[in-house]
Homo-oligomer: A and B are copies of this chain.
């Protein structure tokens, strides 16, 4: 019996210490292991399998929208990184430098890519000559390095995995359209696949990507009321093209600079899944990215026929979902707790009496609900149930966000809420960075984005300077 509780006892309660709860889950659910390389972790099989599902689904969506995968070097010569002024200022303070190769001291330092705009520009300069070569719609899946001081598995690490799209277009309109198309693709992916509601918006100027004309982002609320930036899409205008001298001949036989975008999501999404859906019993995975969607747990597995029936059921269900039979010699109670902790969306219990009745009992991870169903209907029921669970998890996360969202007119209102809980605040803003900064200084919540969905009123004024508001801005504490 002591075994039965082992899995759960290791997880700190969310209310007690959300940070420790998070750390317990990533370790106990087998998502990561720590290493002697500061700020870098091992992504273990269960965590990596989640990433593989994210990759597979996103990659096919990128390809459906005409994007092609490429691979560019890990290293950026210092001189190349320095070509675009804003970009290097933004990234140089947080890069790792290679100074020695084999026995030789390098004459020019190489930076380990923190992002690859400069390398893509160098390549595009070769690859684009004529309007016929446009658009270029490239993407790469790779690792990047940013020398962060404070690190946390998935959320902020010195090395992380991501995809970075880099595209070139003939006109600003086309490039802007691409930037927003990808933002929508990310939002749809987060909401429909990860069951995570997001707010789409534009970053204020103080929060733009280094070198971008405009940065768009999707912001999600974690269970504790803090915000997490789940993906970004940047519009560069022709700034990089000018800095890197990328030109092409137009249909009218003139020389012109193309317009550029870049966009990315990272292994951070795994952190977002944990903090959006997890609870005190552990991880809670959205079915479409869960390595195991349904686990079969035999009850009284020593009794004749039980294991055979379970195996037969596993075989039958393989064609409709990712199913796994746990035939280990642990007790059913231990298995219940273990697979709950690992966030398996559906548990299928099958014991002697169930077999006799042609039934089994389904346990639904996110809601705790139990349902008794006919075993021979499972093939038909399961796919629909997984969809229902995705929608249910989305609704639950949206409810949490709704309950923690406030439209405020004064900073005092923010303080009053923050005394009780973290939350999202919609605040009218005059567009002066000084006021944006004052809000952060005085309340602790920072601007996340200017949501596309605006509901500003004529009478709205900036709570700091009292001037007429130009936008309603989303403010929150953030990961």
A interface with B by C-beta (< 8 Å):
33, 35-37, 40-45, 48-49, 51-52, 68-77, 79-80, 93-104, 109-110, 112, 119, 122-123, 126-127, 138, 142-143, 145, 147, 149, 158-159, 161
- What are 24 A-B contacts defined by CB distance under 8 Å? A33-B123, A36-B77, A37-B75, A37-B77, A41-B73, A42-B70, A42-B71, A42-B72, A42-B73, A42-B119, A45-B70, A48-B68, A49-B68, A51-B71, A73-B159, A74-B112, A75-B96, A93-B103, A99-B100, A100-B109, A101-B147, A101-B158, A112-B112, A142-B143
Q: For the complex, what is the distance from the CA of A34 to the CA of B109, rounded to whole Å?
A: 19
- Chain B residues positioned under 8 Å from A48 (CB to CB): 68-71
Instruction: State the number of copies, please.
Output: 2
- Chain B residues positioned under 8 Å from A123 (CB to CB): 33, 35, 42
Are B37 and A145 in contact, CB atoms less than 8 angstroms apart?
A: no
Among candidates B36, B44, B80, B97, residue contacting A100 with C-beta atoms closer than 8 Å: B97
- Chain B residues positioned under 8 Å from A43 (CB to CB): 70-72
- Chain B residues positioned under 8 Å from A35 (CB to CB): 72-73, 119, 122-123
Are B40 and A73 in contact, CB atoms less than 8 angstroms apart?
A: yes
Q: For the complex, what is the distance from the CA of A127 to the CA of B142, rounded to whole Å?
A: 26
Q: For the complex, what is the distance from the CA of A120 to the CA of B99, rounded to whole Å?
A: 26
- Chain B residues positioned under 8 Å from A122 (CB to CB): 35-36
Are B45 and A75 in contact, CB atoms less than 8 angstroms apart?
A: no
Give the 10 A-B residue pairs with the shortest CB-CB distance, closest first: A40-B73, A45-B68, A102-B147, A43-B71, A101-B147, A97-B100, A37-B73, A99-B99, A96-B98, A96-B101
- Chain B residues positioned under 8 Å from A126 (CB to CB): 33
- Most chain-B CB neighbours within 10 Å: which of A52, A93, A145? A145
